[in-house]
A and B are shown apart, each in its own frame.
Chain A
């Protein structure tokens, strides 16, 4: 899988969350995603960008357009150096939250994506990557 374009956004404020979803929308349109697929990847990115801000204490989102053979896709990677997630399985369950949210962020983002990766080390930070292929 090769990356065709890469851009990184800093996430420090709630306005940055808006910038991330606008950037994801723009790339999804460029790749020719249909409206439902655009909306899904933008919504998943919004949930994860907010997690980076609220739970990770801020961080970065990297938006990449990728190609695997003839397939094009959009991959977004969120990184923070926050407290980390002690129990990832629990954090993926709907309704689990340590904050004021609804606890849909991680599980919801996973359902809205074709591929989902998460790694977290307590005290070191969290990295979450989602990928959605065009027209899958």
Chain B
């Protein structure tokens, strides 16, 4: 079965989406990622969408689901590399993806996660909201 690879980098997981995902593949990624977070005790997830030429409401919803599920599993998510044309289209579509931290590239995304985790792993969420 077709799958999107998930790379472990220290305490983070990196997912680079390089294919035009059909809906079932997106759902499989959601499931795989939650399992990998628990398996590796990952504290952060970086989702690189720089190769995606389009994000529609389904993929947008998958990204927010992943961020919410990861949060429940004590990991934080940053979506990185969104193309400008995708950002313009998402806002016009009516899906501004509020509450999902973003960064321009993987390196900056990693900085965002490190800042959030700090020295003890407690502090502010990447989107600025306070941790419970």
Question: Which A residues are within 8 Å of any B CB, using their own CB?
Answer: 13-15, 17-18, 21-22, 25, 35-36, 38-40, 42-43, 46-47, 50, 94, 101-102, 104-105, 107-108, 111-112
A105 contacts which of B55, B57, B83 (Cβ < 8 Å)?
A: B57
| Chain A contact surface mostly | helix
| Bound CA–CA A43/B88 (angstroms) | 11
Report yes or no: A107 in contact with B53, Cβ–Cβ below 8 A. Answer: no
Main secondary structure on chain B at its contact with chain A?
helix
On whether the beta carbons of A111 and B53 are closer than 8 Å, the reply is: no
Contact surface of B with A, Cβ cutoff 8 Å? 20-24, 53-58, 60-61, 83-86, 88-89, 92-95
Closest chain-A Cβ to B131's Cβ sits at a distance in Å of 27
Interchain CA distance A40-B83 in the complex, whole Å:
13
- Give the chain A neighbours of B54 by CB distance below 8 A: 21, 25, 39, 42-43, 46
Bound complex: CA A10 to CA B40 (Å): 42
Instruction: Identify A42's interface contact among B53, B61, B94, CB under 8 A.
Output: B53
A43 touching B93 by the CB < 8 A rule?
A: yes
